[in-house]
């Protein structure tokens, strides 16, 4: 039931012309779909596990329908989301990330906007209670140490980050969640759409480096959680928190520890000894396997 509610939350972002098709899909798609894909000139499709499935093949998507999705996601106020749109996404109510592709507007080699939307990817956030039960004991053995969650894009990092945040928080630790894109907690009018724990304080909309500094000053957290270390400034946020004696729970794109070490951005971070454990997520036909590796 919960899985279908999460699916319906994403379907609400579709214009009426597409919503009826999305509501007619099988229970399997509704409960397991991770993304809804829209491409101008192509039919609506769904990403389920490792495959993408077309539906309503007689309905070829029009550019105007894709533009309508953006209007729904931004509540007809795209200018309010300009900073987010220029980075290629907006986060709608309930934590649904709407990825965008089209014609970039640039100025001095900097992307300043996006027009003529040609593709949209609606990521369906899933709250999966119990998905971290098999590894939580390993991650908290001897006291919780800083943990880095890794998998390729779309591997389920955000889902298990959310669940680990809840378990740690409900276990008695103060957690500050720096939820830059509002995908983890899905904060709406001050209330999280997803359960991230009774002792979790959520900051959304702030870049990680600035957000980490803010919660360190204002909330005195024992653990700081955030999603996706992808840039040098994110690594700076990691060092900033670690130097203040705070444990970390974060995610990064990689296939393995060896893959992390091959990338300069992550290698320096690992050599600094900030993270003590790595949680690796592997996807086998839509089923995920979790492995914990000790770094020190």
**Domains of the chain: total:** 2
The answer to whether 144 and 24 are in contact (CB under 8 A) is no
Please report whether residue 128 resides in a domain: no
Same domain membership, residue 99 and residue 143: no
Same domain membership, residue 272 and residue 145: yes
Same domain membership, residue 107 and residue 79: yes
Angle 33-38-43 (CA atoms, 0-180°, nearest 5)?
95
Nearest to residue 273, comparing CAs of 145, 185, 156? 145
- What is the DSSP secondary structure assignment for residue 286, as one 8-state letter? T
Same domain membership, residue 189 and residue 89: no
Please report whether residue 185 resides in a domain: yes
Q: What is the pLDDT along the chain (296 residues), one digit of tens a residue?
A: 567 888 999 999 999 989 999 999 999 999 989 999 999 999 999 999 878 999 878 899 999 999 999 999 998 888 888 888 888 889 888 889 999 999 998 888 888 888 899 999 999 988 889 999 999 999 988 889 999 999 988 888 999 999 999 999 999 999 999 998 888 998 887 889 899 999 999 999 888 889 999 999 999 999 999 999 988 999 988 888 888 889 999 999 999 999 999 999 898 888 889 999 999 999 876 688 999 999 87
Q: Which residues contact 83 (CB under 8 A, 6 or more apart)?
A: none
Same domain membership, residue 221 and residue 199: yes
Same domain membership, residue 103 and residue 6: yes
Please report whether residue 219 resides in a domain: yes
Same domain membership, residue 209 and residue 246: yes
Same domain membership, residue 108 and residue 145: no
Same domain membership, residue 159 and residue 82: no
d(C-alpha 251, C-alpha 228), whole Å: 5
Same domain membership, residue 186 and residue 56: no
Domain of 102: which CATH number?
3.30.450
Q: Distances from the Cα of 145 to the Cαs of 130, 137, 177, 201, 278, in angstroms?
A: 21, 12, 16, 19, 10
Between helix 133-140 and helix 157-170 the angle, nearest 10°, is: 60
The CB-based long-range contact list for 47-53 (8 Å cut-off, 24+ gap) reads 47/154, 48/286, 49/283, 49/285, 49/286, 49/287, 50/283, 50/285, 50/286, 53/29
Please report whether residue 226 resides in a domain: yes
The domain containing residue 20 runs over which residues? Answer: 2-123
Please report whether residue 232 resides in a domain: yes
R_g over Cα of the chain:
19
Same domain membership, residue 138 and residue 87: no
Domain boundary among 123, 156, 185: 123
Query: What would the DSSP string read from start to end of 97-143?
Result: EEEEEEEEEEETTEEEEEEEEEEEEEE-----TTTTHHHHHHHHTTS
Nearest to residue 244, comparing CAs of 271, 211, 221, 218? 221
Please report whether residue 282 resides in a domain: yes
Domain of 137: which CATH number?
3.40.50.300
Please report whether residue 283 resides in a domain: yes
Domain boundary among 123, 148, 174: 123
Q: Distances from the Cα of 1 to the Cαs of 8, 79, 93, in angstroms?
A: 11, 36, 20
The pTM of this model reads 0.83
Same domain membership, residue 98 and residue 26: yes
Domain boundary among 123, 147, 182: 123
């Amino acid at each position: 039931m919960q899985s279908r509610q999460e699916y319906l939350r994403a379907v609400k972002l579709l214009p009426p012309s597409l919503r009826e098709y999305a509501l007619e899909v099988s229970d399997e798609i509704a409960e397991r779909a991770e993304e809804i894909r829209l491409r101008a000139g192509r039919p609506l499709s769904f990403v389920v596990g490792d495959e993408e499935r077309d539906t309503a093949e007689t309905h070829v998507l029009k550019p105007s329908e894709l533009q309508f999705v953006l209007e729904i996601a931004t509540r007809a106020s795209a200018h309010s989301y300009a900073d987010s749109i220029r980075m290629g996404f907006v986060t709608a109510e309930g934590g649904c990330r709407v990825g965008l592709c089209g014609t970039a507007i640039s100025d001095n080699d900097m992307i300043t906007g996006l027009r003529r939307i040609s593709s949209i990817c609606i990521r369906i956030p899933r709250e999966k209670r119990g998905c971290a039960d098999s590894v939580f004991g390993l991650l908290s053995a001897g006291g919780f140490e800083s943990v880095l969650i890794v998998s390729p894009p779309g591997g389920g990092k955000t889902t298990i980050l959310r669940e680990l945040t809840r378990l740690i928080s409900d276990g008695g630790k103060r957690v500050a969640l720096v939820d830059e894109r509002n995908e983890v907690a899905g904060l709406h009018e001050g209330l999280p759409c997803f359960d991230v724990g009774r002792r979790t304080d959520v900051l959304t909309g702030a870049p990680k480096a600035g957000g980490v500094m803010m919660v360190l000053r204002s909330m005195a957290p024992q653990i700081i959680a955030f999603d996706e270390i992808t840039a040098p400034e994110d690594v700076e946020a990691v060092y900033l928190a670690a130097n203040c004696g705070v444990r970390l729970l974060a995610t990064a794109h990689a296939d393995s520890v060896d893959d992390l070490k091959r990338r300069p951005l992550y290698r320096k971070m690992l050599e600094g000894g900030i993270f003590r454990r790595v949680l690796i997520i592997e996807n086998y036909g839509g089923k995920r396997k979790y492995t914990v590796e000790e770094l020190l």
